[in-house]
Structure 1
């Protein structure tokens, strides 16, 4: 099924939840976005949905403190998970965010795909690798967006993508790696196609059951 099955541009904010108990019912399809607090996650969400302020952006990393839900169609949602790693916040607050993120990943049955955002200049930090390995172990497809690629030359950008691809190939999971720039919209078409296919594949699965 083509990407016309879902339109990311229709994303609308519905709720911010401190934990999974405040989220919508665990039904339908969700695609989650996760990344370090300085990876440009909010900017990427705005770019992919062609909206300037769907997700809040800030010059101070770590603004995403809750699980933010954006509905794109009935029972189909994009999830903006709390950023991890970098944010300069009190330790207790950071632990609370991490617990919410961990619970979501482990217990949310309707999660069908994970977008992991990493600064192309500093990819595959320990928490990034842990997250990707968890997804592979859970048979969850992963799209790694190497953000801020406009800050590198074409040659360096290609080299970094190849390096990450080679490293992650050892995990033998369903992992795609794509250079991405919110500023230049680099990788926009490829990323939206992958995400749309996750929704479309699920639609096919649910309509062909006997």
Structure 2
């Protein structure tokens, strides 16, 4: 059983001043609206409604935190989360890419996102979720360029890979690697960016993504000895 299965809702943040005063590692999930971010989070955490996708694109403009550790597994549990026992936090960032979002809200959204991913010391890595059929849109590239100067890892999930045939999947992965390898620091060293194919529907790449996320958080999946009776 993966440690990610312990995830449960922790808090929602709409202003930088309200970011939790925790010191455990965080990994953030970012992606264009409709790229499958909520679905990816839910299947990785083996829960159906941990992360929510708004029916109105662009409406969800908050940062949602899910805790690992500090509570029994299972969203139906009402016991409080023991903050001092949390081992890591999963961070669901607002989906981006819809023109319907009002200008003032969009500016607030961009400031919240940009400042969080560039300055949050506890942020260990970014998981960038992109539709395998339409990767590296202008906004995906903007997210990469916001985050790259931190020198922290990015792991890209090319979702909906089940929509591609074998040749298309191979090409999508190769092209994504080419784009990521084009990013380098001032000394010419490549940034720690990685990519994989992913499909929630067909469960493609699920184990690979799980292992990579736990590794980026500094957690070992072998320690995920959760009693089934706690579910």
User: Could you state the TM-score of these two structures normalised by the residue count of structure 2?
Assistant: 0.80
How many residues in Structure 1 have an aligned counterpart in Structure 2? 198
One of 188, 191, 202 as aligned partner of 1:173: 191
Asked if residue 186 in structure 1 is aligned to residue 182 in structure 2, the reply is no
Instruction: Please report how far the alpha carbon of residue 176 of structure 1 lies from its aligned counterpart in structure 2 after TM superposition.
Output: 0.8
For 1:161 and 1:14, locate their aligned partners in 2 and report how far apart those are by CA, in whole Å: 34
Instruction: Please report how far the alpha carbon of residue 153 of structure 1 lies from its aligned counterpart in structure 2 after TM superposition.
Output: 1.0
For 2:30 and 2:156, locate their aligned partners in 1 and report how far apart those are by CA, in whole Å: 10
Displaced runs of 4+ in structure 1, greater than 2 A?
A: 57-64, 86-89, 133-136
5+ residue gaps, structure 1, are 203-210
Larger helix proportion of the pair = 1
Instruction: Please report how far the alpha carbon of residue 134 of structure 1 lies from its aligned counterpart in structure 2 after TM superposition.
Output: 3.2
One of 15, 25, 32 as aligned partner of 2:28: 32
Instruction: Please report how far the alpha carbon of residue 65 of structure 1 lies from its aligned counterpart in structure 2 after TM superposition.
Output: 1.4
Larger radius of gyration: 2
Can you list the C-alpha shifts for 1:72-131, whole angstroms capped at 9, x where unaligned?
Answer: 121410000111112622222222222211121122110001000111111111221122
For 2:16 and 2:215, locate their aligned partners in 1 and report how far apart those are by CA, in whole Å: 25
Q: Which residue of 1 aligns with 2:58?
A: 62
Q: Which residue of 1 aligns with 2:5?
A: 9
CA contact (8 A) 2:26 2:125 kept: yes
5+ residue gaps, structure 2, are 70-85, 184-189, 221-231
One of 154, 157, 172 as aligned partner of 1:145: 157
1:200 counterpart SS class: coil
